[in-house]
Copies of this chain bind each other. A is one copy, B any other.
Amino acid sequence: MTTRDKLLAAAAEALARDGLSGVSARAIACRAGVNQALVFYHFGSVSDLLEAAVRRSVDLAVASYRDRFADVGSLGELLALGRDLHRMERRRGNVAQMAQVMSGAQRDPILAKAGRYAMQRWTSEIEAVLARLLPGSVVEGLVDPRGLARAVAGGSIGLELYAGVDRAGAESALDTLDAMGAVLAALDDLGPMATRAVRGRVRRVIG
């Protein structure tokens, strides 16, 4: 393992565990077991190191789910995968990492770039699946796959932050979202005649 890789791994870990205010060139280098000056030699600045680390994390994570995304055949299955994915990415610290980067993005344009990249990677992956599954469902034409993908990814970040101040509260929020998703998935399963009826009704009310 090269020093570069050690720094990348340590940066990702530090960001997830200690948050933005807990990361510094010194803290990261210490965690990596190397000298502090090497952060600047290899990456130029702490922000640039963090950006590289986030890109690497998200690239690895997205790749590890590619197959499972491709296998999803229904909204119910997608829901189950989403629950799995969120749980796993939380355990890996990737959601926390994202949350910290996005909150730092307000001030630091380099972190903003990293956050934008990460969100784009996740949302485009989710969007592809939704674009495949939504047509034919009750909400076809009513719900935009891209917008929904973005809402899911963005909302996950918020729930992770919420979990940081109230674990049980965030869990109950996730359970409820699961339930609501299940309702939609069940509606999706109503049969063609009922689906048309519901859809028509919704269209009339929304206008």
Which residues of A approach B to under 8 Å, CB–CB?
18-22, 96, 99-100, 102-108, 112, 115-116, 119-120, 123, 138-139, 142-144, 146-148, 150-151, 153-162, 164-166, 169-170, 172-177, 179-180, 182-183, 185-187, 189-190, 194, 197-198, 201-202, 205-206
A173 to B206, CA, bound (A): 18
Report Cα–Cα, A164/B102, bound state, in Å: 7
Q: Which residues of B contact A172 (CB under 8 A)?
A: 144, 146-147, 150
Q: Which of B96, B165, B186, B201 is A119 in contact with, Cβ under 8 Å?
A: B165
* A119 contact set on B, CB distance < 8 A: 162, 165-166, 169
Chief secondary structure at chain A's binding surface? helix
**Does the CB pair B161–A153 fall under 8 Å?**
no
A153's nearest neighbour on chain B, judged by CB, is B162
CA distance A79 to B166 in the complex (A): 25
Cross-chain pairs A/B with CB under 8 angstroms, 7 sampled? A19-B106, A20-B103, A103-B103, A119-B166, A150-B172, A186-B202, A187-B201
Query: Are A108 and B21 interface neighbours, CB within 8 A?
Result: yes
- A21 contact from B104, B186, B205, Cβ within 8 A: B104
How far, in whole Å, are A100 and B158 apart by their CA atoms in the complex?
11
Highest count of chain B CB atoms <10 Å: which of A107, A173, A198: A173
Q: Would A205 and B186 be within 8 Å (CB), given that A104-B19, A150-B173 are in contact?
A: yes
Q: How far is the CB of A122 from chain B (nearest CB, A)?
A: 11
B161 adjacent to A102 (CB under 8 Å): yes
Give the CA-CA distance A96 to B150 in the complex, in Å. Answer: 18
- Interchain CA distance A197-B190 in the complex, whole Å: 10
Contact A18 B158 (CB under 8 A): no
Q: Beyond A103-B104, A105-B161: 5 further Cβ-contacts under 8 Å?
A: A19-B103, A99-B103, A139-B179, A144-B176, A153-B162
Contact status of A147 and B165, CB under 8 A, knowing A20-B20, A182-B202: no
Q: Which residues on B sit within 8 Å (CB–CB) of A187?
A: 187, 198, 201-202
